[in-house]
Amino acid sequence: MAKQIGILTAGGDSPGLNAAIRGVGKTGQNFYGMSVIGFKDGFRGLVENRTVRLDGGCLSGILTVGGTVLGTSRDKPHKMTVGGKVHDMTDVIVENYEANHLDALVCLGGGGTQKNALRLSQKGLNVITLPKTIDNDVGMTDVTFGFDTALGIATEAIDRLHSTAHSHHRIIVVEIMGHRAGWLTLGSGIAGGADVILIPEIAYDVDIIAEAIRNRVRGGKNFSIVAVAEGAVSKDESAAAEALERRILEATEKKERRTHKAELVELEKKRSGHTLRLSQQLEELTGLEARVTILGHLQRGGTPSAADRLLATRLGSACADLVEQGVYGVMVAARGEGAEAVPLEQVAGNRKLIPPGHPWIECARRVGTNLGD
């Protein structure tokens, strides 16, 4: 008997989501005779049972379209706001899964989606995930779809900023997405020839950055490009956060832990706008005029690159194969030119950060790029 599968997209939008939906749907239908439905707006659509039949017509013409035709949200099944209150809606999801006679649920998303999918898998649902995020920080996969497109956008932005930096003898500070992982900033910074690259994995010293810029001026180069991840931190901020995290771990009373957690939240709040502060600091320390460009959600939009379309299509197709084989509770990971099923237990909560000796870091240092340390 032909299987029925449901698909949803969760978390932030990302180039390649539609290509992945198409890859799952067309392989499932054309190759295995499956029926495919989509749930609108992520896990909320699954809770509210808002569906759309993903037949051949719905899957045509979406390969090159950015975003997601299904819509998305950041709702968590176990902590969903309904009627102004937070509820655990996992039992409702189980009911709707059964009401739609699903044999499998395919969830396309990043780190948060992998955790939510694992919870549903532990509730007895047949779940498979695909790794999506422009941050490239989902563990256990070579790469996530969405990353290559965002990398190209950020690199092009840095390319364009070179001319105005050179013409006006300025420091251009460009903020690139990435709260915890610096793959996007490091990759685009190297590809775009940034003079300074600041990532969350390496705490920076503003005096070291300023000295590197002054050295460029002394060498006759009166402009600099600083690529900074939105999650980059100074050494002082990093030390303060680590101290609070230690106090939380060492605290023996709940009240004390709550106090330190609140202090950590406040510290994070104070970090908002850190790119503007960094720009002001560099102006003061170097005497050069500094300007800030924040790329923001521009990096998520537009037509997915050929590489992301190819990656999303082959992972989507491999996902349909796994459904047919009855392999569930896994993420479809990219492995070389193929795909591999990795248990969700190994993926959920496993953030892929840039290791200290990564080749990208080494090559950045060798070509003279300052990493703030």
Q: Is-contact 296 79, C-beta < 8 A?
A: no
- pLDDT digits 0-9 by tens, 161-219: 988 888 878 999 999 999 999 999 999 999 999 999 999 999 999 999 999 999 999 99
pLDDT of 238 reads: 82
Q: Both tokens of residue 88?
A: 């655990």
User: pLDDT-based confidence at 285, cuts 50/70/90?
Assistant: very high
Report d(CA 227, CA 233) in Å as an integer: 13
pLDDT of 169 reads: 84
Residue ranges of the chain that CATH labels 3.40.50.450: 4-146+304-347
Of all residues in the chain, the percent with pLDDT exceeding 70 is 100
Highest-pLDDT range among 39-43, 57-61, 254-258: 39-43
pLDDT of 231 reads: 92
pLDDT of 370 reads: 98
Angle between helices 183-191 and 147-168 (to 10 degrees): 50
343: Cα separation from own chain's centroid: 20
CATH of segment(s) 150-300+356-366? 3.40.50.460
Q: Average pLDDT, stretch 106-125?
A: 97
The pTM of this model reads 0.93
pLDDT of 239 reads: 83
The contacts of residue 144 (CB under 8 Å, 6+ apart) are: 110, 131, 132, 133, 134, 135, 136, 137, 138, 334
pLDDT of 119 reads: 96
3-state secondary structure of 278: helix
172: Cα separation from own chain's centroid: 25
Q: Mind telling me the catalytic residues?
A: 135
* Residue 17 confidence (pLDDT) above 90: yes
* Residue 43 confidence (pLDDT) above 80: yes
pLDDT of 246 reads: 81
User: pLDDT-based confidence at 224, cuts 50/70/90?
Assistant: very high
pLDDT of 270 reads: 72
Closest C-alpha among 315, 340, 332 to residue 27:
315
Q: Average pLDDT, stretch 264-291?
A: 87
Tell me the C-alpha to C-alpha distance, in Å, between residue 86 and each of 8, 72, 76, 80, 97. 21, 19, 10, 5, 21
Residue ranges of the chain that CATH labels 3.40.50.460: 150-300+356-366
CATH of segment(s) 4-146+304-347? 3.40.50.450
What letter represents residue 185's amino acid?
Answer: T
* Residue 136 confidence (pLDDT) above 90: yes
Percentages helix, strand, coil for the chain (3-state, rounded to 5) are 45, 20, 35
